[in-house]
Each structure stands twice: as structure tokens, then as C-alpha cells.
């Protein structure tokens, strides 16, 4: 495996992790503010409340993905 393909796959992983972090951060903000659209809550047995837990989990996923993107992007 050449170093060019390793750096290319590392860059791809960084981009994917950064996108995941941004998407989950937006979802966490929507759930925590209580203004999430109905399609995000479809199939949920919890009709009121419980969105705080979803928001916190979304925030944790966003932080973990953001740290992962930073970790894969830092210089060796």
C-alpha cells in the first residue's frame, strides 16, 4: 500500500467523520430545542418528552465524531 492511498483514505475518513459530526450536532440542537420536524419522531412510542435523551445522545455522537475527525486529521 502506498502512502498516497493511505493519506487518501485517511482524508476520506476525516471528511466522513466531520459530516457525521455536523449532522448529529444539528439533530441534537433540534431535539433539545423541541422543534424537530415530525419525520424525526416517526415510529417513536414516546410522543411527549424523551427528546432530551435523544438530544444528549446526538450531542455525544457529534462530539465523538468531531474528535475522531480531528484525530485523523492531525499531523503524525
On the question of pLDDT at 37 being above 60, the answer is yes
Domain boundaries, the chain: 21-73
CA gap 7, 66 in Å, rounded: 19
Distances (CA, A) of 73 to 10, 12, 40, 56: 8, 10, 31, 26
The model's pTM:
0.78
What is the longest distance spanned by two Cα atoms in the chain?
53
58 near 27, Cβ under 8 Å?
yes
On the question of pLDDT at 46 being above 80, the answer is no
Among residues of the chain, what percentage have pLDDT more than 70? 74
Length of the chain: 76
Q: What's the pLDDT at 32?
A: 87
Amino acid at each position: 500500500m502506498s502512502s498516497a492511498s493511505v493519506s487518501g483514505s485517511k482524508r476520506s475518513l476525516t471528511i466522513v467523520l466531520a459530516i457525521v459530526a455536523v449532522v448529529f450536532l444539528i439533530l441534537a440542537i433540534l431535539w433539545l430545542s423541541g422543534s424537530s420536524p415530525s419525520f424525526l419522531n416517526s415510529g417513536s412510542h414516546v410522543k411527549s418528552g424523551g427528546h432530551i435523551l435523544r438530544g444528549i445522545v446526538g450531542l455525544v455522537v457529534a462530539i465523538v465524531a468531531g474528535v475522531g475527525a480531528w484525530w485523523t486529521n492531525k499531523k503524525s
